[in-house]
Amino acid sequence: MKNRNLFANVWAQRALILAVLLIIMLIGNRSFFSLGNLRTILMSIAIYGTMCCGMLLCMLTGGIDLAMGSTAAFTSVVCLWYYNGHGMTDGAFVVGLILAIACAVAVGILHGICDAYLMLPSFVVTLATSKLLYGLASALLKGSFIHLTNTEGFFYKIANTKLFGAIPMPIVIFLAAALIVGLILALTVFGRRVYAVGANRAAAELVGIKSRSFRVGCYVICSLSACLGGIVLTSMNYITSATTAQGYEMMIMLALVVGGADIMGGYGDIAGAVFGALLAGIVENMIVMLNINTNYSKAVQGVIIVLAVAFNVYNNRKSAGLIAPRRKRAEAAPKKEA
């Protein structure tokens, strides 16, 4: 018999959460619903939302990348350092971008090899790499920062132009990345194999899927999404430093876990990731607009992550039949004889 409870559906649950937050803002501060503030929310999530698209693939295979922020910082530093040192022309930007992409690919391959072939914990490896990349970026800049001063070049225009004169490019890039990853996961053999590797690596190997190669590939895509986010963030802020995107890993994890991605791999989708990023942006914006002390922002994010993980584990166990509904438990219980 089908479950007729409306809120047993995950999207109904997400809609309920969103409705509660919107009702709070309707009572607390109606300027939250202004077009300007909605644009602010979308712009605030565009960078880590773009990074979420790559991180989702990594998480689906059972991996994790805690070097997303440092990869974004290092690659943006490399790109802008070369750009400023070679005439700030569009040609210099292309070369700088190629160097940044090469660095991102190298980082992704390193993470993939350590995880898939050397069997090192991805948590430890990527945390160590994060420290390494921040250190290299700081050494390259000698503890300083670089400004993007050419406001006529393509580098500046990446984040400071609008599609059709209305939609800021960072939002367009985020939505395009989400669409591409969504299509890959839903319509390609690569996407299906990513899920298979995350769900059961041993079974995937038995049917001929080279799970190690797929895991390395997902780490590379993850690092490339961080590189893209770093470049867009630099263009948006006209500056980069060794601490660019520092702490973005928390927002990325928050978005993915709230969006239903399983940290153990095998479960999650791009629609959930986009919802999670949007929800994280709304909560962050609510804290500001309700005049709540921003020092509590990180604490709120931590609580949300813990609750989201617990909720996902419960839903996954229930869907796997490990937790029986109350009615079924009552029916299964032995009846006492009169």
Amino acid 54: pLDDT: 93
d(C-alpha 71, C-alpha 224), whole Å: 9
Give the DSSP letter of residue 114: I
Q: What share of the chain is helix, strand, coil (3-state, %, to 5)?
A: 75, 5, 20
d(C-alpha 100, C-alpha 80), whole Å: 9
Amino acid 33: pLDDT: 86
Instruction: Classify residue 5: in a domain, yes or no.
Output: no
74 CA to centre of own chain: 18
Asked if residue 31 lies in contact with residue 237, where contact means CB atoms within 8 angstroms, the answer is no
Instruction: Classify residue 338: in a domain, yes or no.
Output: no
Instruction: Classify residue 21: in a domain, yes or no.
Output: no
Amino acid 331: pLDDT: 56
Amino acid 229: pLDDT: 94
Instruction: Classify residue 207: in a domain, yes or no.
Output: yes
Instruction: Classify residue 326: in a domain, yes or no.
Output: no
The H helix count followed by the E strand count for the chain is 14, 4
Instruction: Classify residue 156: in a domain, yes or no.
Output: yes
Tell me, what CATH number does 171's domain have? Answer: 1.10.3470
Profile the chain (338 residues) by mean pLDDT over runs of 10 residues: 53 81 84 87 90 93 92 94 88 94 96 93 92 92 83 87 87 94 92 89 85 91 95 91 85 86 84 89 84 74 73 67 56 54
Amino acid 153: pLDDT: 85
The total domain count for the chain is: 1
Give the DSSP letter of residue 120: -
Amino acid 329: pLDDT: 52
Instruction: Classify residue 312: in a domain, yes or no.
Output: yes
Helix (H, G, I), strand (E, B) or coil at 6: helix
Tokens encoding 123: 């948590």
d(C-alpha 222, C-alpha 51), whole Å: 7
Amino acid 337: pLDDT: 54
Amino acid 6: pLDDT: 46
- Name the residue range of residue 89's domain: 34-317
Instruction: Classify residue 8: in a domain, yes or no.
Output: no
